[in-house]
Amino acid sequence: MSLHPIIAKTYADEAHRQGDLMWQSTRNLSKVARDEDTDTYHILVSVGPTVWHDLANTGGFGYYLDDSFTAPTGQNVTTHATTFTNLIVNGLGNLREVNPPGLLVPMYNVTTSKVWPIKLDDVLNVRIQFTAANYAGSSPYIVIQMDSEGPFGAFISTTIPLLKAGDDQPVLFDFSAFVGPDWLANGGTIQVRYDGTGSVDLFNKAIQVQRTFSV
């Protein structure tokens, strides 16, 4: 039998507990339900206002902020027509993780720049943000992608035009995607490519990963 960690959520009173639809409660002392397909055991215990809930198949959140807050301390990316560079977000500015118990790796690896999912067919929302500065050229732009090293290359990609003549330009890319076999096996590497004159400085970099759905 698989063993899964259990956590507790405590409410101020019964009314607050009944009003929280995300957390199931039971009047029984304990209840065990088995899912034959996944060999997962869910245990719910209700004692007073405290609800125990198995999080083996739910939840997951991570926020990672780089400690480069000005252009000179940021990541410098040289222009290139085809080559991508990993977006480095070291988590030294701030790091907050609320992951399911038993998860062996964080949802984002600050060393490899990889977003790591938990289960096949999960849905993850990923938010990437940074400030671009000191770029140049007639029509400079940045391409952001996530590459899972599958047969078709990057499966998430967007192009952001840089329109402020080299001045600070905030960039935000937000997407949701379901987890396929390649992403689950290899992780998803967050990468950028700059097309313009010279290079661009990237700072105020942050990545947020949230698990929004799980079967």
Burial label for 29, CB within 10 Å (0-12, 13-18, 19+), is exposed
d(CA 124, CA 109): 15
Domain boundaries, the chain: 6-54, 61-213
Q: Provide the percentage of residues in the chain whose pLDDT is more than 70.
A: 71
- As a whole-number percent, the residues of the chain with pLDDT over 90 amount to 61
Q: Which residues pair with 19 in a beta bridge?
A: none
pTM of this prediction exceeds 0.95: no
Please indicate whether residue 70 or residue 55 has the higher confidence score (pLDDT): 70
141-150 confidence digits (pLDDT tens) = 999 999 999 8
The CB-side HSE value for 146 (13 A sphere, CA atoms) comes to 28
CATH for 61-213, among 3.40.50.920, 2.60.120.1120, 3.40.50.720, 3.40.50.10300? Answer: 2.60.120.1120
- Residue 206: beta bridge partners? 65, 129
* pLDDT of 102 over the 70 cut: no
**pLDDT tens figures, 170-182:** 999 999 999 999 9
